[in-house]
Amino acid sequence: AQSVAQPEDQVNVAEGNPLTVKCTYSVSGNPYLFWYVQYPNRGLQFLLKYITGDNLVKGSYGFEAEFNKSQTSFHLKKPSALVSDSALYFCAVTHGGSQGNLIFGKGTKLSVKP
Amino acid sequence: DAGVIQSPRHEVTEMGQEVTLRCKPISGHNSLFWYRQTMMRGLELLIYFNNNVPIDDSGMPEDRFSAKMPNASFSTLKIQPSEPRDSAVYFCASSFPSGGAAKNIQYFGAGTRLSVL
């Protein structure tokens, strides 16, 4: 069975510092991995995805994520956090043979303080 | 493209009433998903369709919930009768699973905030 774990309910970072939001996954076959962001009172927005190729994936708003097959992880990172990055972040996984349904993690609330 | 369109944005109803939520997916997308989000349970997949056919409805809470997709551009999620515990934000999302660079990316609507009194 596929699953996603986001071990931190909340991550607190000072503006200008690097941030990391953690995600580990379990899937049969080759994983397709995604990060989404949700701002208050909004739907989820796609940030980036890993399907194949380079393990470091770059996405919207300066975010990037590193696929680590041996550790089954796909952590979201940003070199310098902004207050406007404060939001709820979701990791999701599926596999190549799926019909498009994603398994979402429970979400991590990112709080960036000035 | 206007994105995934959901209506209404807010719905307040009384216990026992029927509630119908509507979704228009992005044109050309052939997969549609209904989710429910609450503080307690997070984001839950209720049901999803491929080419208008329900594929997995195992997430539908109980028989009070039903979903239809009569054509490629419209879907409904109905709750009858509604109960206070159904209060949540309901999201619709669509995707194009075979679609090149957009493969498997789900695009979400703004959601319907349902309050059952």
Partners of residue A32 in chain B, C-beta under 8 Å: 103-104
Closest CA to B14 of B87, B91, B90: B87
Q: In chain B, which residues have their Cβ closer than 8 Å to the Cβ of A36?
A: 108
Q: In angstroms, rounded to a whole number, what is the distance separating the alpha carbons of residues A69 and B12?
A: 46
pLDDT for the residue numbered A97: 65
| pLDDT tens column, A30-41 | 889 999 999 998
Say what the pLDDT of residue A94 is.
Answer: 84
What sign results for the dihedral spanned by CA atoms B88, A108, A35, B56? negative
Most B CBs within 10 A among A101, A104, A106, A109, hence the mutation to make, goes to: A101
Q: How many residue contacts between A and B have a Cβ separation below 8 Å?
A: 57
pLDDT at A98: 67
Query: Is the bond preceding B81 in cis, omega lying within 30 degrees of 0?
Result: yes
pLDDT at A21 over 90: yes
Of the pLDDT bands very low, low, confident and very high (cuts 50, 70, 90), residue B1 is low
What's residue B61's pLDDT? Answer: 87
Q: Per the CB < 8 Å rule, is B50 touching A94?
A: no
Which chain A residues touch B93 with a CB distance below 8 Å? 43-44
Q: What gap in Å lies between CA B79 and CA B97, rounded to an integer?
A: 28
Joined together, the tokens standing for residue A24 give 């580990």
- Measure the CA–CA gap between B93 and A107, rounded to whole angstroms: 17
Which one has a higher pLDDT value, B2 or A93? Answer: A93
Contact A99 B55 (CB under 8 A): yes
Cβ within 8 Å, pair A43-B91: yes
Secondary structure of residue A40 in the 3-state scheme: coil
Q: How many H helices and E strands in chain A?
A: 0, 12
| pLDDT averaged over every residue in chain A | 93
pLDDT at residue B97 above 80?
A: no
Counting DSSP H helices and E strands in chain B, the numbers are 0, 11
Q: Is residue B17's pLDDT more than 90?
A: yes
Q: Return the amino acid letter for A65.
A: A
Residue-wise pLDDT for B35-80, tens only, equals 999 988 889 999 999 999 999 999 998 899 999 999 999 999 999 9
Rounded CA-CA distance B115/B95 in Å is: 28
pLDDT tens-digit profile of A4-15? 999 999 999 999
Q: Which residue has the tokens 């990055």?
A: A85
Show which of residues 4-43 on chain B sit within 8 Å of chain A, judged by CB atoms: 4, 31, 33, 42-43
User: What are the pLDDT digits (tens) for A68-107?
Assistant: 999 999 999 999 999 999 999 999 998 766 667 888 999 9
